[in-house]
Amino acid sequence: MSNDVPAGEKRPVFAGNWKLFGTLAESVALATDVQAGVAGVDGADVIVAPSFLALATVTARLGAGGPANRVAVAAQDCYWEAKGAFTGEIAPAQLVDAGCRYVIIGHSERRQLMGETDADVNRKTRAALGAGLKPIICIGETLAERDGGTTLAVVERQLDAALRDISDADLGRSLVAYEPVWAIGTGRTATPAQAQEVHHTIRTRVAATRSAAVAAALPILYGGSVKPDNIRALMAEVDVDGALVGGASLSADSFVRIVKEGTEVWLRS
């Protein structure tokens, strides 16, 4: 399995967001178990996102597996400045230096718990792209917004803000993850139809503001209580290109099942 996708070829993407879990030893063990588990899977991009502290060690260990079946590594966040007096922050180039190829940006936990704004998400996205990272840009509505009937407007606002001043070429290196806040870590997943409605809205918005080709090529992942037993139905939806998985990515068995079953559905449809 290679993460070097030839231009024009779209593949499903499965990313495990490990959040604030795992010692160094546990992270290396989980990453190598995932790598071994997906070694036979052809045609999908697999990403793991350990904590900052484990990134360099995990990328070094996965790299030793050889490029043919390498699982790529994402950071869970980055800062928008390249260097300077910003205590505690991590620059995109430092993530590249640690072997990362992706970075998750604007996760709802960062928006809600750390006060990240749409403007911050845009600054981080531009900085990540500038350093050569592929951003996984997270957007999604809260329960109050869904109940209030503003889901599609909220998602379009977040999308437009995140993509401001980003070229079509850079958008071609980006991924979007739709993660309804009410479905994250709650065991309550969006129905496939709910996911499809929002994914379709995202793609339609990109087609309207960019081009049909850019929109068609954009990987749109679903996130929020993805499990082995719901991945098939989600991946059967035409605009669902993969998954961003939290809790179920902390077990190699369940994450590998998600990758395998999701890829199988993708290849069939």
Q: Which residues bind ligand PGA (CB under 6 A)?
A: 17, 179, 184-185, 223-226, 244-248
Q: Is residue 226 within 8 Å of 234, Cβ to Cβ?
A: yes
Residue 151: closest CA among 185, 201, 106, 111 = 201
Measured from the CB atom, is 42 or 253 closer to ligand PGA? 253
Tell me the catalytic residues. 107, 179
E strands present in 82-215: 102-105, 134-139, 175-178
CB of 23 to ligand PGA, least distance (A): 20
Please, what is the minimum distance in Å from the beta carbon of residue 16 to ligand PGA?
9
> 32 to each of 23, 44, 105, 139, 254, how far by Cα in Å?
14, 17, 24, 29, 14
Residue 36 main-chain phi, psi, to 5 deg: -65, -40
- Least spacing, CB of residue 243 vs ligand PGA, in Å: 8
Nearer to ligand PGA, 163 or 245 (CB): 245
Q: Closest separation between CB of residue 129 and ligand PGA, Å?
A: 21
* Residue whose C-beta lies closest to ligand PGA: 246
- 23's tokens: 């010692």
Give exposure, 69-100, as e/b (b: 16+ Cβ within 10 Å).
bbbbbbbbbbbbeeeeeeeeebbbbbbbebbb
| DSSP assigned state of 51 | -
* DSSP bridge partners of 105: 137
Considering beta carbons, is residue 91 or 174 the nearer one to ligand PGA? 174
